[in-house]
Every structure is written in C-alpha cells, then in structure tokens.
Amino acid sequence: MNKILCGSLSLLLGASLQVQATELSNDVASRINEPGTSRVIITFHDKTSRSRLSNKGSQAEMKRTLKANYTASSREVRNLFTNTRSSIGRISDELWAANAMIAEVSNSALETLQSMDGVAQVTLDRVIPFEELPANSSDTVKEDEWTYGLKVLGVDKVRKAYNLTGKGVRVGVLDTGIDANHPDLKGKVVAWGDFAGTSATEKDAHGHGTHCAGTIAGGNASGKHIGVAPEAELVIGRIFGDSGGATLSGILQAMNWMTDPDGNAETNDHPRLVSNSWGGRQGSMDKEQAMWNIVTAWRELNIVPVFAAGNSGPRPKTIGTPGGYPHSFAVGATDSNDKIAGFSSRGPITWEGKDYVKPEVSAPGVNVYSAKPGGGYQSMSGTSMACPHVAGLVALMIEANPALTVSEIENILKETSVDLGEAGPDNIFGVGRADIGAAIAKIKGEKAAQKANFESIFE
C-alpha cells in the first residue's frame, strides 16, 4: 500500500491513507478459496471528503456526516451480507469513524470483496501483543510530595501559580483497564468500555492501565502527588485482556467508541484527548487504513491523539505505529536527569519517500511512580509512562483555554519544550522535553519576562 505524503500539516489532517484499488493484505489473499472463514476488517472508500468536515457547524454535525459517509460507502457490501442467497458471512461491528466494518467472511467470498469498487482494503484481524515494559533503572530518584516527573515538567509550579488541575476535561485512556476504586482514582471514571472482554464494571488485572491513569489524573492520597491533572474526568477503554493480548478489531472498536461513547451524536461526551500507551513496531500497523482513518476522525472532532513512541530504541527508525503516523503526537521517554531513555524509540519514519521527525516531544518515562491495582503504588518505566505525562499536560492546557484546537495544542507543546538534543527537532527527543510552565505562559499570552518571574517565584 502507498503511504500518504502531504505537502502541509493542514492537508494531512484531512487526508486518508490513499489506495488506488481494493487491497487485500497478504494473509487475507492467501486464504482466497480456502475452506472456512476469516475475521476481517473491511475499509471503504470515502464518499465524503474528510478535509471538508471542519466546515460543518458543530461536532454533532461532523459525527452525523461521518456516520452518513459510512452508510453510503458500505451500502453495497452491507446488502451483500443481508442477502440470504449470498451467504458470505456476518457483520460483527460497524465502525463509522473508520469507515470500516468487522466481519466474519467465508474465504470463498474474499475474491468477491476484492472486486467491489467501494472496498478500499481488507485486512485480517489478529492478536496485537502487549509490549513488555523495560526494567526500571537502578538510578535513585529523589522525590518528596511530588513525583519527579511532575516536578521536571513544572506541574507543581503551575498548580501553585494557576490552580490548574484539569477540572472538567475529559481524557480518554486506551489500555489494560483501571482500578476505579483506587484512592487516587476513585470517582474519576465517567465512561467505561470493555473491548477485551465483557466486564460491565471497571477492572485491571494487569496494572499498566491503572498506572497510566494515575499519572494522568491521580491525586495525593498517599501524601505524594502522582497525577498531572487530578480533577480530569476519565473515559476508559479496556483493549488489553488479563493476559496482555489485544486484537486489532478490539482496538479499532475502542478507538471508534472514543469518538461517541454514548452513541448519541447530539451529546458532547467524547474526550478532548486520548492517551495511548501502546503500539506496534515500525511497519506493523502502518498499513491499517481503518486505524489511520480513526486518528484522522479524532483530529476532526478536536480530540488530541497522544501516543507512546515505543520501547525499541536506541536504534534509529524504531518509532512504532500508530504513534509514527504523521498526524499522531508521539512521546519519547526521558529520565530524572533529562537524559533520553535507552529504550525510547527513535525516528525518523518514512511516508511516501519523505522522512518525518519522531517523536514530537519527550517526557519522564523512567522509574515513574504511580498507582497500582488494589490501592498500592509502584514504579514503572517505558514510553508508556511518558505518554500519560503529556496527556495530563494537554488536559491542563485545555482547562487554561478550552478553545484550543488540536494543532494549536501540539504547536504550543513543541514551541515551549526544552531543547535537549541537537538544536531544533531531532529523532531522539523530538523538539525536546515538554514544559507545562512555558506552555501555560504562552497560552495566557505572558511575555518572556513574566515567564521568568513565574519560574523564580517557586525556585
């Protein structure tokens, strides 16, 4: 499949991963006319230009337009499934934000799907393994009433200077779930969806999701502040099961759900950002048009797509996807001394012959102290720990100015980051380590002198 190349960011945000004809992934093509069935993701060519969605009068109208686009784009294939004479299989779920469906299809019908003009891509559903975290560093981290990550990012100073806590900002988290009864997280979950099982109530048998949620919105029940935005509201999608595995279809369902958790386009219940401490190695999910489309839809709905860069460093070109998509915001990991973590994945990533710098920024991701299921605490390392730090910072920025767009938030974060690597953007730190004090000062239009004064007040 061709990857997209866009001349400017504005063009990129409204674009989709372009294909010229129906594409069957190699594993699907090998099953044509084989006995049995295959669980597949069928993605359709758009009938509506996504680049024009921003002209709609409201987010509700955008959602209605995307749903109508799916209905029109998928009509021929849906009719094929409902025609009892065809007997090609059954539709499992419909993903309007991705303009795709999940279906169980007879292998004998795969060639028929390939011949249909409206079908852009057919890929096989598969297990997405959970990336095991790197071991914690032996370095001793000095902490008191604030974790080192919050102090390095300037959260303690911003809290005292502006009283920003993320109040009222909805943050999506796609992970292993959450211990919603943890004393640092109790009462903060406003929506729950289980896409790795059937649990009607919040759970986390692994611990990764609770740790990430704690970094975003944890309080200080233990006497130590662990969360960047402790009054944020959490929309939790469980995509990894108890054993750590996820499915591509489950991830896509969860990403689609984030765009409209209650299923009612008229209610504005989707999060303003989604924290994604997961991904695949470079090349593993870069051809998934349905996933690309949902990240695009998030941006159209003013949802900031924050992703972990991955833990495959220190070699170059190890940035994962979908964090490696040009329209995703990837986060690398630093330690308490502002050094890049050896495991932090590096860029660049190439799309249609053009190299893109990745990650966008970095944040603390080594020996990060946060919540543990059962009411306890633990330290973890990984870009998975850096990602929720930046997600929390985005929540504070939105609280400071709810009118900010995705692009404005990303640009402010990059413009105000502390440049730690080569001068300018590089493929190790991105543009640098995030700095919430400088970001909020910029949002509020404060001059450099005022920002310097802000820094000196709390030194």
* Annotated catalytic residue 38: no
Average pLDDT over residues 414-432: 96
Sheet holding 23-24, edge to edge: 23-24, 119-124, 37-44, 100-106, 89-95
Q: Where are the domains of the chain?
A: 9-125, 148-454
DSSP 451: H
Average pLDDT over residues 361-376: 98
pLDDT of residue 141: 78
Residue 386's nearest CA partner among 134, 157, 212 is 212
pLDDT tens by residue, 127-143 = 988 888 888 887 777 78
- The confidence band for 287, taking pLDDT boundaries of 50, 70 and 90, is confident
In 10 A of CB 381, how many CB atoms? 22
Average pLDDT over residues 42-69: 86
Instruction: Select the more confidently predicted residue: 346 or 242.
Output: 346
16, 74, 125, 175: the catalytic one is: 175
Average pLDDT over residues 433-459: 72
pLDDT tens by residue, 386-421 = 999 999 999 999 999 999 999 999 999 999 999 998
Cα–Cα distance between 364 and 336 in angstroms, integer? 7
Asked if residues 329 and 114 have their Cβ atoms less than 8 Å apart, the reply is no
The set of residues, in sequence order, having a beta carbon less than 8 Å from that of 234 and lying 6+ positions away, is 170, 171, 172, 173, 178, 185, 188, 189, 190, 213, 216, 217
206, 208, 211, 225: the catalytic one is: 208
- The confidence band for 457, taking pLDDT boundaries of 50, 70 and 90, is very low
* Annotated catalytic residue 211: no
Q: Are strands 304-308 and 273-276 parallel, antiparallel or unpaired?
A: parallel
Residue 17: HSE in the Cβ half-sphere, 13 Å Cα cutoff: 27
pLDDT of residue 446: 64
Cα–Cα distance between 229 and 356 in angstroms, integer? 30
pLDDT at 450 over 60: no
> What is 148-454's CATH topology?
Rossmann fold (3.40.50)
- The confidence band for 77, taking pLDDT boundaries of 50, 70 and 90, is very high
pLDDT of residue 369: 97
- The confidence band for 447, taking pLDDT boundaries of 50, 70 and 90, is low
What rounded mean pLDDT belongs to the chain? 90
pLDDT of residue 6: 33
Q: Give the N- to C-terminal CA distance of the chain in Å, as an integer.
A: 53
pLDDT of residue 130: 83
Q: At what angle do helices 436-443 and 155-162 cross, to 10 degrees?
A: 40
pLDDT tens by residue, 212-231 = 999 999 999 999 999 999 99
Average pLDDT over residues 454-459: 48
Residue 222's nearest CA partner among 147, 140, 286 is 147
Tokens of 181: 């009864």
pLDDT at 8 over 80: no
Cα–Cα distance between 130 and 292 in angstroms, integer? 20
pLDDT at 7 over 60: no
pLDDT at 18 over 50: no
Q: Which helix (H) or strand (E) holds 66?
A: helix 59-82
In 10 A of CB 93, how many CB atoms? 15
DSSP 56: S
Percent of the chain with pLDDT over 70: 90
pLDDT tens by residue, 89-115 = 999 999 999 999 999 999 999 999 999
pLDDT of residue 448: 47
* Annotated catalytic residue 328: no
Average pLDDT over residues 176-197: 98
Average pLDDT over residues 171-195: 98
pLDDT at 51 over 90: no
Which string of DSSP letters, residue by residue, matches 89-127?
A: EEEEEEETTTTEEEEEEEGGGHHHHHT-TTEEEEEE--E
- The confidence band for 352, taking pLDDT boundaries of 50, 70 and 90, is confident
Average pLDDT over residues 47-74: 87
- The confidence band for 333, taking pLDDT boundaries of 50, 70 and 90, is very high
pLDDT of residue 84: 65
384, 389, 417, 426: the catalytic one is: 384
- The confidence band for 15, taking pLDDT boundaries of 50, 70 and 90, is very low
pLDDT of residue 313: 94
